[in-house]
Chain A
């Protein structure tokens, strides 16, 4: 059946999730195979995605509510890659936690399927369902650890998430109530036909949709959950949240803005709103990150700041009208580069904290001697997060800044650069601790194979994209061309 074929990448994950649950129930002695089963599911999903790329037969199904196009395929790969790395990084943690292995991996896969649905969703209801499908497993996993912090993290994430869902749903309802449509391009057509009498209502609806997604994007003032949840959640899940759900939210927002609101509809208003949000988000995230003593919390604020940087790209998309592809390309490239970089940092942090039992930055002192490779990879990823060459992060920032300048947002780019400078203080502060600090204990940190693979793959990715950004840029470019026709 054709529809099943189209959503097979997602179905593969859902079926694998089911298999995991059954496997644990039937073969309780074979639990250590579970992560590899999950990886196989991801591989099948990626392979199926590749088969669509080869078939080159992109299409929309279910009456236009779901689209398989170059854009969604780009994100399929990103999400499959993210989850595979998270699964690899989780093995140690889950083994130590010692419980609920199958559920953990199953929920992770379900959430990933949700992210993939989000990337292709072209309909308000589908978007909402996909968002919840990806979110609910995240709420559960955030509270998965035994300690009290994790419970608190899960609870805060859930409650604030519920509120943001309500806001999002409200915005969607307004849009639907006004246009009578739920499919994005048809909403776009209805809006284009409007004579301007209902402009305020449309803008309000968009505002609420942004506010609703703002929670997932972690932009100010909807970022408050980030540090608490990042610190409280199990570290592999923090890594997943920091790149997966954020990338998906940006993916949806871009699609909604292109397909429903149209690149030339109220574009300058949006440019200004995004620009102001970008400036505030970057500045607040960076300034707050400066004082953190806990590395997970610091990366939480850093992810807020990075979201602000991506918003520069969105502002540029809005401001540049028909010339948007450069800016949209920048956003996609940024998301992919950021995913690699942040996952690399987290993989190294997982390995280190797992061994030293602390995620305080001070305890990373002298890590260069205890775990030279981990320290080097973490330092390299932090350099990439700062945006210093030759790393993926450098091109990502350069591209976004370039898009900003092209869209005449020079002031915003200058703020972005100033923020990058601030961020150097805390990113490189960690590097200083690791390389120049003195360790209290000198025992070497051993790395398990799972984390080892994860660290190696991400570090190589950051470096290769840093030196040869071409292929990823081309893929991103092809993905955003989907919107160029409309």
Chain B
């Protein structure tokens, strides 16, 4: 119960956030930060509590086996601590950053809802519960990214992010449903404990593909990476939160969560290593030609996410250890860097490094944060991310998979590029001369440097003394990802070995690349701008949208033209087609064909009705056509009379007369001669009509052929007098046994009359409706 309270507390806090802010202004932010802090404390208490795992569950939908259930293990704890810890920092930071913003209350509403959704997502045990929170993160992050909706760019970015992540999420839903069916349970813990059940299931590949789409869209893996930099239009606190610890890590979380049951296969290794490696390389490269601090950070985030996915793909014990370590390291330094960028933007009025310089003097604390963050980004010792990178290299080098040289090459190219990015972030704006920011810079208020400072400090402390985090935090998380027990020992100093050598080489290469960055840019930018303009996923996304719209517009013109007669034609054609299909695929309809014993006057009646129909169809004059319709009706009445149905004949005759009178009355008001169609149209329509007619004829011949029992009518014949004391059986049926239908019939007529009356009455009254 306390678990649920902690997980869902964010939503409760969100609900009251607007009220708190309305009362207390931005100070309300400090008050609200107590909620994530409390959650943080709760997760800490779990980490040091007696039980390794905490779980709670309620039945949600019995028939589908859906439970509303949470289960907090090592992985959930790591995420929970990051989400709530960084969440508290962001809430405080936003109080400074968005001070005086009239929409601050709404901002906290969405931010805390988002936090609740993330906590729910990472704590969920049931597949459907997980999905519910997954989509909640998409929706709430949409609100957060589109927060500054005065800007068109912000709106478009928000929509793009939502469409990509929500769409991917739906694919994931299909994957989760299949996973639940394959494993025959919806509890993630049970699925993970079931061993090879899922891996051996015939639905394994569809499940993997669908889940990968979900994870890749959420964690911006290639080729779905394009939405993430666009989402940088969000206010900085949002970017810092979404892109360091939470939203974009959700995809990584999902993959890590299902790793024990789905991971380890060739498909898994290949798909994740390739997607992750490509994203890692692409992100590191794309940061090169950027000047906006946030965009640089966005692309390096992309690179980091790729690294995490790649490590999951490699999947060895070492790789998973590295994954968890790197995840923690990245959350710490990336959160700090984003908030630093926000502070610079807030104080100097721009985030473009070309307009910034020598900020270290005015903003010493921010500069220190930037330096520590950048060193982490570049993977310099003695920071925590250096340890992460060491393990990453080690895992890559020991990998037995055939393509490990490829992965090593990816790492070897990406790392120097990240060093360049680190230099651009830290050295250029803070220490080099030049640039004229729009505002005269001051140090940011404490609310905006305290949080990043804590995170940066974390990077340093954990780097110097990794033992502080390994036993209670990293080890359980890595074990939860792997699904097996092992020890995690982290150390800053590994001795002289291959990873250290590679690490040193990449850092050296990075420093060289930083010094020659202008040349690198001059070399790559023309190609990059060209490529981005013609191909690439963003273009693909836009082209996809345009294509859909064009296709639909074409469809609308062709299918939905508003013309009644084509609708009629489609209906007739579809019916005939379906009937023919049904008849042929089921062995055809046996036909009766027997014209023996037909009296000559019956031939005459048949010819009369048929002739009337044909004449109506070909008549050019309305009144002639009405006469012909009348003849059809009379002919049908006579047929009823001949074949033992005098009541029908009387009714039919009466209705026929009324019909003709109505036709004459209405047609009297219609203009001149009727429209005539071209010959080609007539032939086409005639062919379609004859096809319909022929189908109907065949079916009647078929139904006449089939013998049928007549016990219902026998029942009525027997019961008519016995039960209802009527001699005219048809009448008895209508007024006694089937009174309900007769009642309905009467009401139908009444309704039609009422409608006709109302239309005519009000038509006569308001002539303004008769325009044109």
Contact = CB atoms under 8 A, between A and B. Distances in A.
B132 A106 contact: no
Contact of A470 (B61, B132, B556): B61
Interface in B126-179: 128, 131-132, 135-136, 138-139, 146, 149, 154-155, 158-159, 162-163, 166-167, 169-171, 173-174, 177-178
Contacts of B139: 383, 388
B160 to A, nearest CB: 10
Interface core residue of B206, B567, B765 (most chain A CB under 10 Å): B567
B762 interface: yes
A180 B713 contact: yes
Interface stretch (A83-91, A336-344, A415-423): A415-423
Interface in B713-770: 713, 737-741, 744-745, 747-748, 750-752, 754-755, 758-759, 761-762, 765-766, 768-769
B560 interface: yes
Contacts of B210: 414, 417
A139 interface: yes
A167 B162 CA distance: 45
B740 A395 contact: no
B744 A129 contact: yes
Given A129-B744, A163-B571, A288 B170 contact: no
Interface stretch (B88-96, B585-593, B636-644): B585-593
B651 interface: no
Nearest to B744: A129
B562 interface: yes
B564 A420 contact: no
A208 interface: yes
B582 A288 contact: no
Interface stretch (A72-80, A234-242, A306-314, A396-404): A396-404
A14 B136 contact: no
Contacts of B752: 136, 140
B548 interface: yes
B739 A62 contact: yes
Interface in A130-172: 130, 132-133, 136-137, 139-140, 143, 146-148, 155-156, 159-160, 163-164, 167, 170
B568 interface: yes
A22 interface: no
A473 B63 contact: yes
Contact of B166 (A113, A203, A228, A388): A388
Nearest to B590: A197
Given A177-B706, A395-B61, A421-B170, A288 B754 contact: no
A126 B740 contact: yes
A401 B177 CA distance: 8
A107 B755 contact: yes
Interface in A407-437: 410, 413-414, 417-418, 420-422, 424-425, 428-429, 432, 435-437
A182 B503 CA distance: 84
B697 interface: no
Interface stretch (A25-33, A218-226, A456-464): A218-226
A326 B63 contact: yes
Interface string A439-481: 0000000000000000000000000000001100100010000
B529 interface: no
Contacts of B170: 387, 417, 420-421, 424
A258 interface: no
B560 A174 contact: no
B135 A62 contact: no
Nearest to B142: A428
Contacts of A362: none
A200 B553 contact: no
B181 A406 contact: yes
Contact of B583 (A106, A130, A204, A435): A204
Nearest to B565: A159
A126 B741 CA distance: 6
Given A421-B167, A424-B166, A133 B751 contact: yes
Contact of B579 (A178, A207, A224): A207
B703 A174 contact: yes
Size category, B interface:
35 or more
A420 to B, nearest CB: 5
B552 A436 contact: no
B559 A224 contact: yes
A417 B583 contact: no
A211 interface: yes
Given A126-B740, A390-B136, A421-B171, A180 B177 contact: no
A383 B140 CA distance: 12
Given A163-B571, A222-B571, A326-B63, A129 B748 contact: yes
A360 interface: no
Interface string A344-381: 00000000000000000000000000000000000000
Nearest to A390: B132
Given A200-B584, A410-B206, 20 more contacts: A65-B741, A110-B750, A136-B748, A136-B752, A159-B568, A177-B703, A179-B708, A181-B711, A199-B587, A200-B588, A201-B706, A204-B699, A224-B570, A290-B548, A388-B135, A398-B128, A405-B181, A413-B177, A436-B149, A436-B158
Interface of B: 60-64, 128, 131-132, 135-136, 138-139, 146, 149, 154-155, 158-159, 162-163, 166-167, 169-171, 173-174, 177-178, 181, 203, 206, 210, 545, 548-549, 551-553, 555-556, 559-560, 562, 564, 567-568, 570-572, 574-575, 578-579, 581-590, 696, 699, 702-704, 706, 708-713, 737-741, 744-745, 747-748, 750-752, 754-755, 758-759, 761-762, 765-766, 768-769, 771-772
25 contacts: A3-B739, A62-B738, A100-B758, A100-B761, A117-B740, A146-B768, A160-B567, A160-B571, A167-B575, A174-B703, A177-B703, A190-B709, A198-B706, A200-B589, A201-B702, A204-B579, A204-B589, A211-B574, A224-B560, A284-B555, A287-B552, A288-B559, A388-B166, A390-B136, A428-B159
